[in-house]
Every structure is written in structure tokens, then in C-alpha cells.
Amino acid sequence: MRPTKREFQSIRYATAQIKQLVFLGFLALMAFIGLLWFARPKESATEQRKLTAFPKLTLAGIWDGSFFNYEPKTPEEKPGGVSTWYADTYPLRELMTTGYNAMRDAYGTGDRLTKRPTADEIPQQGGLTPEQLAALAAEGDPKTTQKNDPAVTDTPAKTEVPPETQNGAVPVETTAVPTEPTTTERKSGAGDAVTPAEQAGSIYITENCGYGIYGFSQSGSAKYCINVNAVAKALSGKAKVYCMICPISAGIMLSDSVREGIGCSDENEAMNWMYSNMDPSVTPIKVYDTLKQHNDEYIYFHTDHHWTALGAYYAYREYCALKGWTPHELSSFETITFPNFLGTFYSSSNQSPALASNPDTVTAYYPNGTNDMTMYSNYNMPTGKYAEYGWKIIYDVSGYPKSGLYGTFSGGDQPYNYAHNPTVTDGSSVLIVKDSYGNAFIPFLVDHYEHIYWIDYRSFQSWCVWAGKPYSSISGLVTEKGIQDVILCNNINSTGSSTLLETMEKIFK
């Protein structure tokens, strides 16, 4: 029997009331969860960053509104206030973000580009004079324009070194640096719990893989050449200088037509332009063609902006060719693997479900000569001092978050590191000046030198200040240690970053 009109209206009214109660109940539940102060996270392992802190309560902040909603006054500042803190640290934020992205991706099946890079035309001329390079560099002075900032902001966060590791040992803070650091017995309590995020700004996602894309900056590239040439001049007669510009994934793994379609500059042409404008005393380590020949192999991560250890191995073989060495075959190394790695592409794409469905496996190759190293870090050092750690060149990061597994290589992005290989006794030495691309490259070099030094140029100067060094430059370190070979190892996006180029200028001398 069909309900009467009055009965139908009564049912509809009751249904509407139930919907309203369910909705209000849902809002009340979400508000209650938001009040769970103890459940609010302080860090995001997925995004590899510290979350917004609760603002300091001041009368002035309440009066001008900044306590509730702080608007940044400079590009370096971040939004703040109670509203930003509430949204950034909401207990279910990451779960809700993942759900939103899964729903969004369910509506579309095409490829996705997070941001199209700004790119200049790559000129053909090489061999420019110092004056011509200076003129080009001045065109993109970061004080007057930001148009040449790179697709990847390759600035390291403070390296995450936990005060305690799984076995509970605490590192010892040092107040003096030995004249010649030597590898000590391993002290637990150092290393990269979460490798510093070099956040990928421009990502192309297709077929469940992410690709970092590059936009050529003529002014930035000219500035990079000036910095490299300054190092060559400072080290003339002291050390041999090598320069390796590391390609990123789009330039190697994608076809020319796809690269052109997403606005990616030709990395090979850009690198050749930079090499052609470097001092003749600088020996380029050209790895583009070799990597391109192996682009059917697993040489770049799918969810992260770094190359894999296999990609770094092919770069190592190119360096061996320049040195006249016989490279070690991969079969000569013992390996360790770490599955389910979700890197910077995953975090920078708001936890793309496509990337989550295709996690990486990190494979690391142990050096044959030694796996011991010394490194310095100032994590959790409120005084600004550094601690010296005995560590491992390839470290077992099985207990790390899945976003931090790249931290297995070379201690991560520490300012100053040293390894002594006892199987080589010829006094040979090398310094690698790097960003995080160098981390996977360094372990292969260990077997060929007696003394191996590596620094992260982004934090080396602050370490020099703490260590009481009369210098904060590459040449100063080379002179003090009597280093014979210097390798400048940077990914190609670093060569166009105004911020990083200014940092390089301070120590590339």
C-alpha cells in the first residue's frame, strides 16, 4: 500500500532530520579530534619537514591578529598563527590528504605535471670570457629577480640525527676538532633518521612514476661557471679539479617529444654549454650519454628525485675512465636493500596514490676497502656545536621511516666527513664537494683512495665557524689536508638556483 501524502512528508522530514544529526555528529567528532592536543604531530615523516609550531601568545600578536593568522612578510618566511597550526597539525591530516588525492586521481586517467618550469633558451656559444660570463650572471641577480629559481629547491633541512638510536647509545658532543680526523670506533646515535628533503617543485607523473624536470637559466648557469672557475684558480698547482653535473630523471628517462611537451630544457645541451665555459684546467665528468644508454635500467627512483646507486655506479665508471682505472664490477660488492621507499616526489605531490602504488627499493653497495667513516652533525645541539660520530658509509636504515631510506648512503647531508681506507697506502686523497646526489656516488670512490673527504657545500661554512677554521673554503681545506683530487658533484637543478649559487660563492674559492 502506497503511503499517503502526509505519511510521505513525515518520512521525508524524519530522513532529513537523521541526515542533519549525522552531519552534526560528524562535525562534532572532527572538532573533538581537533581538540586532542596530545595527538597532534610535530613532524611529518612523509613530507620530511617540521610542522607549524603553536604561536607564542603575546598581547601584540592578539592586537594585530598575527597570533591567529600570520602572513609572511618575506619569501623566506612561512605562514603561521593558530589557524595555520591547527590545519597543519590536525591529527588526521595525512590520512585525509591521502584520501583526497585518491578521490581526485579517480576522476582522471591522464598524466600530471605539478608545475611547469621557467626556462631560458640555451645558447650555442662556448668559451666566454670572464667578463662575458659576469655580464650574463648579472642579468639574473637574485636581488632583482626570481625568475631563474630552479624547479627543485635543493636546500637541506637540518640533518635529522637522532640523539638515540635503536640500541639507546647517546653520542658524545665534542668541543675540539682533531687536526686529522680519523675513523673511530662506531658510536651509535648518529645518521639520517630522515634524509633532508630537497623538495621537488616541478614533477611530471606518468604511469605511476615521477620525473624531475629542468628549466635552463642562462644567468644561473653563468654564475655556476664563475664559481667553478674560481675554485680552479684557487687550486691551481695544488689539486686537480673535476666537475660532474648530474642529470635528473626527465632528461634521461623521457623521450625528446615528451620533454618538449612539458617544457623541460635539454639537459645535455645545458651541461655542454656550462662545460664549454669552464676553465680549461677543469676536467668535466660527462655522464649524460652513459646514463642515456642505460635508461632501460633502474637508474632513477620512481618516487624520489635522486638517482639510484646503479645510476651513480655508471657515473663512477666514467670517472674511472678519466683516471685510467679499471672500475670494480657490481658483482664485486656486497649489497643491502630497503624496500617500500617513498621519496620527495611522493611528499611533494601531496602523497600521490599513483606513486604510492609504485614504491621504490633502495639498493646500496658496500665499499670493499672500508665501511667506516667519521662525520659531524649538530642535530639536537642547542648550543650550535657539532658532535663527532663514528658511522658507516653504507648504514643499515631498516628502522628508518620509508621516506628516509636514501639516508643509507654516506651519512646523508652532513657538513664534513672523512674515511680512511687501510687497503690503499699510497697517500692518495680526494675531496667531493656535493649535494645529496653525491651521497650514492661516494661509496664507489672509497676503494680507490687512501683518504676520502666529502663536504656538503650548503652547511660546510657553518661547520668551519664552529671548528675554528681560519678558512671556510674549498682551497683552505685542500691546503690543510694536502688533497690531490677535487670533484664538484651537483645535480643540474642546483646550477640554476640563485640561493644555492650564492651559497657556493662563499666556499667555491
pLDDT by 10-residue block (mean), the chain, 509 residues: 71 81 81 73 66 80 77 63 76 63 51 73 85 88 40 42 35 35 33 38 86 93 96 96 97 93 93 96 98 97 97 98 97 97 89 91 97 85 74 95 94 95 97 97 98 96 89 94 97 92 94
pLDDT of the residue at 28: 83
211 contact partners, CB below 8 Å, separation of at least 6: 203, 204, 205, 248, 249, 250, 253, 254, 300
- Pairwise CA distance, residues 407 & 409, whole Å: 5
- Pairwise CA distance, residues 145 & 401, whole Å: 38
pLDDT of the residue at 352: 86
pTM of the entire predicted model: 0.76
pLDDT of the residue at 154: 46
Torsion (CA) 188, 194, 195, 197 in degrees, nearest 10: -160
CB 201 within 8 A of CB 152: yes
Q: Which of 409, 416, 406, 434 is nearest to 490 (CA)?
A: 434
- Pairwise CA distance, residues 49 & 42, whole Å: 9
pLDDT of the residue at 379: 62
pLDDT of the residue at 442: 98
pLDDT of the residue at 349: 84
Burial (0-12, 13-18, 19+ Cβ within 10 Å), 450:
middle
Measured in degrees and rounded to the nearest 5, phi and psi for residue 129 equal: -75, 160
